[in-house]
Amino acid sequence: MSFVDTALTVVVAVSLAVAVATLAGRLPVASPLVLIVFGIAASYVPFIPDVELTSELVLVGLLPPLLYAAAIRTPLVDFRANRRPIALLSIALVIVTAVGVGFLAQALLDVPLAVGLALGAVVAPPDAVAATAVARRIGLPRRVVTILEGESLVNDATAIVLLRTSIAAIAGSVTLLETGVEFLVSALGGVLIGAVVALVVIQVRKRITDDLTDVSLSLLTPWLAYVPAEEIHWAGTDAHASGVLAVVVAGLLLGHKSPIIQSATSRLFERMNWATISFVLENTTFLLIGLQVKSIVADVGDSELSAGRVAAVSLLILAAVIGIRLVWIFPATYLPRLIPAVRRADPAPHWTTPLLIGWAGMRGVVTLAAVFLLPADTPHREVLVMIAFVVTVGTLLLQGLTLPWLVRLLGVRGPDRHEDHLTEASVHQAAANAGLRYLEEEIAGTVSEDVLERLRSRAQDRANAIWERLGGADTPAAQYSRARAATLARERAELIRIRGEGTVDQSVLQRVLDALDVEESILDRLAEDESTVDREIDLRAAIDPAGACEHLRDACDVPRPTTPTGCEECLRDGTSWVHLRICMTCGHVGCCDSSEGKHATAHFHETRHPVMRSFEPGEAWRWCFVDEKTG
């Protein structure tokens, strides 16, 4: 294939993947499933060229950036908090699955155990992209998604190490002791190299002042971690560190340190770049999986095994892969909690949680890529490739299509958007209050009173806008966003007119246009957040993990309102309010800080009554002025 043909194939594949994924977003089915079905159908279209999904392409070209993009988005705090279930799934379950499938393949295909173990390692690791795409679309609980993502960040490394060890065993060149040593070297070496790369990159990025240079380094980091890990061998042997694990560790650490080592602009650039890269690579990968079916079926046609036997073995191994995970997940969930310390720190979840995690074990691109690492002289290699394909597509379609139905059947609810919005508002308020205290303690007296008042207003406005969204009315923040967006459109039109005259340097105009774009992007985000507010159920505060403050615990009974029809001071003075709050001590009704009078806050400063409650229909949240907590 010529360079032009290769470039054309890449362009067509990416274009189709993006187009199909965009259309799939309007369907009640996750886009990975639609892309695979589309790819299977397209593989039989005469003018569609054969596209080979090689192991080198996936393991070196696709896997490092996909894992890195997922790792920098994964909160290190959540990963640590769920390290036990993640380890039991990504390490222990991968080994158990590989061994179970290995013995089954040996019996069904009459191949050496090493070949069966190699196949088991291939089909063992679930794929994060498919599982989380389905999970987020149907609204699985946040911890379930965190465990699935954390599992997929590590299980690929476990599976690839097992596969390489099995391939060496096929050639009869390793012992059991050597297998254990290689596994430890791979795991510990990957963690060590990933941590070293992260520390070096952190020190470099702290000293970079140019945002484009900083983001460019971010784009190189996956391979800066992957390549050394794969190339550095232990004591002259074939054992080397896991490049996959090095990428994951580097991504987790750099994502955790991002607020410290990067500027705000750099973080925005990086987030958008990696989101785009992930979108393109993920969707293209699932399309390529579907496009493999024609060549895989053709190769199986040359096998000495009958088509019926190949189909039967493929389906039995598919059932084994699903069954082993479901059998493993319940004891892995509940047996550790027989230890009192574990049970106190992490109470046992409802049985529906492990069931959903067990059913979300969909396989993906790593399974198809890994099977091509098998040597050409591996017994029944073409059949093993077919089995890997059946397991991949079978789990994606069977589990991917039925997972939403299972969630509805079990009555499982995802994250409560109401609680999320309320928690977001309280966090904004705490941050704004910290900024205001700094203004009064450190800045006051060093700037004019006009400047100080502008700073106070900016800090308060951001928090007030978040609280306003909870009320569901046409709030001042919403009115401001609409009016400012219209004003920016008129300003941009004037700049375009000036640009057309050619009387102003274009670089100067571009800087002004860029400034308008930044402000408009903020308004777009606010508008997007506003559209997600749902007023169908009571708005209650999430439980504070550190425990509610004493004021919130004491303020449970709602007192009789002194002025049920509105804010007491506004009714007296003839002013208007935005949202109403009631004092949980005396029943005083006052208006929120988005209102002109800010009478609820003024009432606290006058009386020191600590807790207020929303007095809006459908809202039940409370706020403690003293400890700055919701309840």
pLDDT per position as a tens digit, 168-192: 777 766 666 666 777 777 888 889 9
Residue keyed to tokens 């001042």: 476
**Position 545 in a domain:** no
Lowest mean pLDDT among 124-138, 352-366, 560-574: 124-138
**Is 466 among the domain residues?**
yes
Query: pLDDT value at position 546?
Result: 45
Q: Is residue 268 domain-shared with residue 206, that is, in the same domain?
A: yes
Question: Sorting pLDDT into bands at 50, 70 and 90, what band is 326?
Answer: very high
Q: Which domain holds residue 479?
A: 418-531
The verdict on residue 604 lying in a domain is yes
536 pLDDT exceeds 50? Answer: no
Which phi and psi angles does 539 have, rounded to 5°? -95, 110
Query: pLDDT at residue 491 above 50?
Result: yes
At 238, the pLDDT band (50, 70, 90 cuts) reads low
- Whole-angstrom Cα distance, residue 428 to residue 422? 10
Distance between start and end Cα atoms, the chain: 65
- Report for 2-6, 371-375, 527-531, 609-613: range of highest mean pLDDT: 609-613
Where residue 289 sits, what CATH number does that domain have?
1.20.1530.20
Q: Which residue has the tokens 């007192």?
A: 559
**Same-domain pairing of 164 and 274:** yes
**Same domain as 248, residue 164:** yes
- Cα–Cα distance measured from residue 606 to residue 624, given in angstroms and rounded to the nearest whole number: 15
Per the CB < 8 A criterion, the answer to whether 279 and 21 are in contact is yes
Contact status, residue 392 vs residue 363, Cβ threshold 8 Å: yes
* Same-domain pairing of 304 and 317: yes
Last residue of a domain, one of 472, 497, 531: 531
Please tell me the distance from the alpha carbon of residue 462 to that of residue 428, in angstroms, as a whole number.
Answer: 8
Using the 3D structure, point to which of 531, 564, 585 is the last residue of a domain.
531
What's the CA angle centered on 180, arms 235 and 117, to 5 degrees? 120
Both 405 and 422 in one domain: the answer is: no
Question: Which amino acid would we find at residue 87?
Answer: A
Highest mean pLDDT among 424-438, 470-484, 492-506: 492-506
In a domain, 66, yes or no: yes
Task: Check residue 522 and give its pLDDT.
Answer: 73
Stretch 222-244: mean pLDDT, rounded?
Answer: 80
* 525 lies in the same domain as 609: no
Please check whether residue 537 lies inside any domain of the structure.
Answer: no
Tell me the percentage of the chain whose pLDDT exceeds 70: 85
Q: Is residue 88 over pLDDT 50?
A: yes
Helix ranges (DSSP H) in 139-261: 142-170, 176-206, 211-231, 243-261
CA distance 105 to 200: 45
| 308-323 CB burial, b ≥16 within 10 A, e <16 | eebeebbebbbebbbe
Contact 226, 247 (CB under 8 A): yes
Nearest to 30 by CA among 236, 286, 357: 286
Contact 391, 363 (CB under 8 A): yes
Question: CA nearest 226: which of 190, 259, 254?
Answer: 190
Q: Which of 484, 502, 531 is the last residue of a domain?
A: 531
- Token pair, residue 435, equals 């900024």
Whether residue 601 is contained in a domain is answered as yes
Most confidently modeled of 160-174, 283-297, 383-397?
Answer: 383-397
Average pLDDT over residues 580-591: 90
Of 79-83, 317-321, 586-590, give the lowest mean pLDDT range.
79-83
Indicate the number of domains in the chain.
3
Q: Specify the 3-state DSSP secondary structure of 1.
A: coil
Report helix angle 142-170 to 128-138, nearest 10.
160
The β-bridge relationship of strands 589-591 and 622-624 is unpaired
Q: How far apart are CA 65 and CA 364, in angstroms?
A: 16
Question: What CATH number has the domain bearing residue 623?
Answer: 3.30.40.10
Report the distance separating Cα 318 and Cα 301, nearest Å. Answer: 20
Contact 477, 595 (CB under 8 A): no
Measure the CA angle with vertex 67, ends 65 and 73; round to 5°: 105
For residues 563 and 458, membership in a common domain is answered with: no
Residues 398 and 265 in one domain: yes
**CA–CA separation, 223 vs 227, rounded Å?**
6
Mean pLDDT across the chain, nearest whole number? 82
Percent of the chain with pLDDT over 90: 20
User: Length of the chain in residues, anyone?
Assistant: 631
Same-domain check for residues 523 and 449: yes
Judge whether residue 380 has pLDDT over 70: yes
DSSP class per residue in 59-118: IIIIHHHHHHHHHHHS-HHHHHHTHHHHHIIIIIIHHHHHHHHHHHHHHHH---HHHHHH
Name the more confident of 92 and 345. Answer: 92
Do 520 and 473 fall within a single domain? yes
Residue 542 lies in a domain: no
* Cα→Cα distances 185→67, 68, 244, 285, Å: 21, 21, 13, 30
30 in a structural domain: yes
Write down the residue that tokens 């609204």 correspond to.
139
Pairwise CA distance, residues 310 & 315, whole Å: 9
The closest of 47, 126, 63 to 94, measured between CA atoms, is 126
Whether 403 and 366 share a structural domain: yes
d(CA 523, CA 521): 5
Q: Is the domain of 98 the same as that of 218?
A: yes
Asked if residues 94 and 126 have their Cβ atoms less than 8 Å apart, the reply is: no
The answer, yes or no, to whether residue 540 has pLDDT greater than 60, is no
